[in-house]
Amino acid sequence: MDYAAEGHIYSDHGKVIPSVTTILNPTAAKPWFSHESAARGTLAHDRCAAWAAKAVAFPYEPYVDAFAMWCFKHAPEWVKLESIVDGKVDGMRYAGRLDGLAMVEGKLTLIDWKTGVKAKYHHAQVGAYALVEKPARGLVLYLHDDMTYSEDWMSPTDLLAGIQQFRKALEDYYAAQN
């Protein structure tokens, strides 16, 4: 699986594989987020992953500081960071990048961090990655620019609902392509 950050494109031997975010919002003629918010999110994701991997420390950055505070509270044992997910459901292939997979409080937890506001597709996005990674639970971790965070923990029942929401979006996406 190849990933081109420019354009957020996944491919396999030249064949483009639809991304989880494309599948969850296929009708958008343009991204549903601003260039500024996309740049902020990308920078925060990269720096949070680097911080979690203990690769580097950063000067004051509110989103990274919020992430660090969450890590200090929960002491995650990282299994994967910024890892490409290559999934397939009933022959329908998709790809994405999970933010983190970690042991948290003794449970394998799939973590997706966000720098924006809560959106209805966030649980489906975690569900898409959960189909491949099989976590015990999920977490959408909202990082705020005032160095705070909020948690949206997903129980196994919530994960199942997110998986079902993603499967429906995946079926709709592929049906529209034919």
Structural domains of the chain in order of their starting residue, each with its CATH number: 18-177 (3.90.320)
Helix axes 62-74, 35-52, angle to 10 degrees: 40
The pTM is what?
0.88
pLDDT of residue 28: 47
Reply yes or no on whether the pLDDT at 62 is more than 90: no
In angstroms, rounded to a whole number, what is the distance separating the alpha carbons of residues 19 and 26? Answer: 10
In angstroms, rounded to a whole number, what is the distance separating the alpha carbons of residues 86 and 103? Answer: 21
Q: Tell me the average pLDDT across 54-66.
A: 74
Q: Average model confidence (pLDDT) for the chain? A: 89
Q: How many CB atoms lie within 10 A of CB 63?
A: 23
92-111 pLDDT, tens digit per residue, is 999 999 999 999 999 999 99
